[in-house]
Structure 1
Amino acid sequence: MFRLPPRAALGATFRALLAAAGAATFALAAGPAGAQGFPERPVTLVIPFPAGGSTDLVGRLVAERMSAELGQPVVVENKGGAGGNLGAAQVAKANPDGYTILMGTVATHALNPALYKKIPYDAEKSFAPISLLVVVPNVLVVNPDFPAKTVPELVELLKKNPDKYSYASSGNGTPLHLSGELFKSLAGVQMQHIPYQGAGPALNDVLANQVPIMFDNLPSSAGHIKSGKLRALGVTTAKRAPSFPDIPAIAETIPGYETYTWNALFAPAGTPPEVVAKLNAAANKSLADPKVQARLADFSATVVGSTPEELGAHVKAELAKWAPIVKASGAQVD
């Protein structure tokens, strides 16, 4: 039988409950107050790839404008390695106060969970989504000295010389690697894959003609394409990129071919909603800046700007989309 405690004990219990309730009320009041003052010091934006690639370019552009919106510097920290896993894990384990955020990509939040046997974070549970920033085309480029000048010529050359030529990518299992593997599969050709620790180092070797072919993010190759230091054979999106209308889509030669990447901001899971809202507002205002839009348009990045909930739904959909593609490619990283 359930018995009430003695009156004295009941009074002590009641006083304890009142004290606990008061402490909880104070904590709830302190939380939003702290969030209202956010940010009171610089915010670190971790970019999980080396400097020079598309993610780095987009990240620095947005970080500069967000600094003005937030009234505090947004400091970029490049943390490359393991296809973006190192930088993503750093943010996942950071204090959830909004002062450490991540520039996530299709690699960190859609491909890596399918590619790696072990991953140091959960793409959904370890993060608080902030905003989907942009969707970016990839592009197939070659050194100007390379004999093939079009996608059909490249396919013919590779079929005549299986495994003679190699292509560079930003690393095993990255979107650029899978762009190459999908190309090989659909075109029925063979190339050797040479992975690098990021798109920047890979691009440098293609410019130096150490490796003749590369699948790159369009933003990081755009300037070299315009200057003639690289020859673009095709974009990886289903349709041509608006900023380079003369570059054919690879799908015009190889039906069904399509890959792309995207950039989005994430905070550690448990970050207060008020802080996430402030970061979301700053990011989306940055994307609305005409100067930022013009710069992003230069390399055909499609500006999105989303709510945290929309980004969360996007990650879920991308995980479902890419898992079977990665499995079919046979790519896996230990």
Structure 2
Amino acid sequence: MGTIGTHAINGHLYRKLAFDPLKSFEPVAFLADAESVLVVGPAAPVNSVGEFIKLAKAKPGSVTYASAGSGSTGHLAGELFEDRAGVFLVHIPYRGNAPALNDVMAGQVAASFATLQTALPFIQGGRLKAVAVLGQKRSALLPQVPTLAESGLKNFEVRNWTGLLAPAGTPAPVVNQLQADISRFMLQPETQARLAKQALTYLDMKPKEFAGFIQRESDKWGQVIRAVGVTAD
């Protein structure tokens, strides 16, 4: 199994890894994308991306966002947002998603770029406000919440993805058969319904398509990490 962290981010965060994220594996199949969302506390004077950007520009360096830790997807999503929106936010790293969202709900931190799986119960309970989803399409679980692209930020997408990879050198017929079997299962209506309830999305990619996707993700997040200068060593 591989994730955005193991195969698109960590290779740029750590100087030395026990494996090469791109060369040590044969990509087999994309499995799931955990939808992400920009959230703020219930008392925040923000109800749209435009208002959030306006607030950040009015108070540069004073608007904060929480993440599960330095180098996490939530952290890097915030850095990407800063670049695309032309604002300066202050990153507050936590040890995990729960304490990060707790402080957003309490008003100690302004916002967070969180997975919808984690944030949805608090959004539904009125303890968080969803400002925008970070994917290309609106979420079926939050159909009233626009995407960042709809809100004016083009070329912005965050995928918290998971995929299946085999050791490098695995014969192509084996890789292709595995992908075909996975595709058949994942495209079943029952499977799709279960994924949707968990704010997960499946993309039906052939192995070569998945390999290209991983390369693009690595290039994208590597650029963000180099621009920020963050490391985990």
Same fold (TM over 0.5): yes
Q: Does 1:263 align with 2:150?
A: no
Q: Is the 8 A contact 1:140 1:214 kept in 2?
A: yes
Match of 1:287 among 186, 205, 213: 186
Q: Return the offset for 1:275.
A: 7.4
Q: Return the offset for 1:263.
A: 1.6
* TM-score computed with the length of structure 1 as normaliser: 0.59
Q: Return the offset for 1:134.
A: 2.5
Q: Does 1:217 align with 2:115?
A: yes
Structure 2 gap ranges (5+): none
Q: Return the offset for 1:255.
A: 3.0
Structure 1 309/257 Cα, relative in aligned 2: closer, same or farther at 3 Å? closer
**Structure 2 residue aligned with 1:316:** 215
Q: Is the 8 A contact 2:76 2:224 kept in 1?
A: no
Q: Return the offset for 1:180.
A: 0.7
Structure 1 186/274 Cα, relative in aligned 2: closer, same or farther at 3 Å? closer
Q: Is the 8 A contact 1:243 1:299 kept in 2?
A: no
Q: Is the 8 A contact 1:138 1:236 kept in 2?
A: yes
**Structure 1 residue aligned with 2:51:** 153
Larger radius of gyration: 1
Q: Return the offset for 1:154.
A: 1.8
Aligned counterparts of 2:131 and 2:123: Cα–Cα separation in 1: 10
Q: Return the offset for 1:288.
A: 2.9
**Structure 1 residue aligned with 2:227:** 328
Q: Deviations over 1:174-194 (max 9, x none)?
A: 322121112223333332212
Aligned counterparts of 1:258 and 1:180: Cα–Cα separation in 2: 11
Q: Return the offset for 1:276.
A: 5.8
Q: Is the 8 A contact 1:133 1:306 kept in 2?
A: no
Q: Return the offset for 1:248.
A: 1.8
**Structure 1 residue aligned with 2:149:** 251
Aligned counterparts of 1:141 and 1:214: Cα–Cα separation in 2: 5
Which SS does the other structure have where 2:215 is aligned?
A: helix
Structure 1 320/164 Cα, relative in aligned 2: closer, same or farther at 3 Å? closer
Q: Return the offset for 1:264.
A: 0.8
Bigger share in helix: 1
RMSD of aligned alpha carbons: 3.0
- What is the aligned-residue identity percentage? 41
Which SS does the other structure have where 1:162 is aligned?
A: coil
Which SS does the other structure have where 2:50 is aligned?
A: helix
Q: Return the offset for 1:277.
A: 6.7
**Structure 2 residue aligned with 1:186:** 84
Which structure would you say has the larger RCO, counting Cα contacts within 8 Å and 6 or more residues apart?
2
Q: Does 1:171 align with 2:39?
A: no
Q: Is the 8 A contact 2:79 2:224 kept in 1?
A: no
Structure 1 178/229 Cα, relative in aligned 2: closer, same or farther at 3 Å? same
Q: Return the offset for 1:333.
A: 3.5
* TM-score computed with the length of structure 2 as normaliser: 0.80
Q: Is the 8 A contact 1:142 1:232 kept in 2?
A: yes
1:52-71 mapped onto 2 (5 Å cutoff): none
Structure 1 280/204 Cα, relative in aligned 2: closer, same or farther at 3 Å? farther
Q: Return the offset for 1:132.
A: 0.6
Structure 1 151/309 Cα, relative in aligned 2: closer, same or farther at 3 Å? closer
Please tell me the residue identity of whatever aligns with 1:229: R
Aligned counterparts of 2:209 and 2:83: Cα–Cα separation in 1: 33
Q: Return the offset for 1:278.
A: 7.4
Aligned counterparts of 1:186 and 1:307: Cα–Cα separation in 2: 31
Q: Is the 8 A contact 2:135 2:157 kept in 1?
A: yes
Structure 1 gap ranges (5+): 1-101
Which SS does the other structure have where 1:304 is aligned?
A: coil
Aligned counterparts of 2:121 and 2:222: Cα–Cα separation in 1: 33
Which SS does the other structure have where 2:15 is aligned?
A: coil
Q: Return the offset for 1:214.
A: 0.4
Aligned counterparts of 1:170 and 1:266: Cα–Cα separation in 2: 25
1:118-129 mapped onto 2 (5 Å cutoff): 118-129=16-27
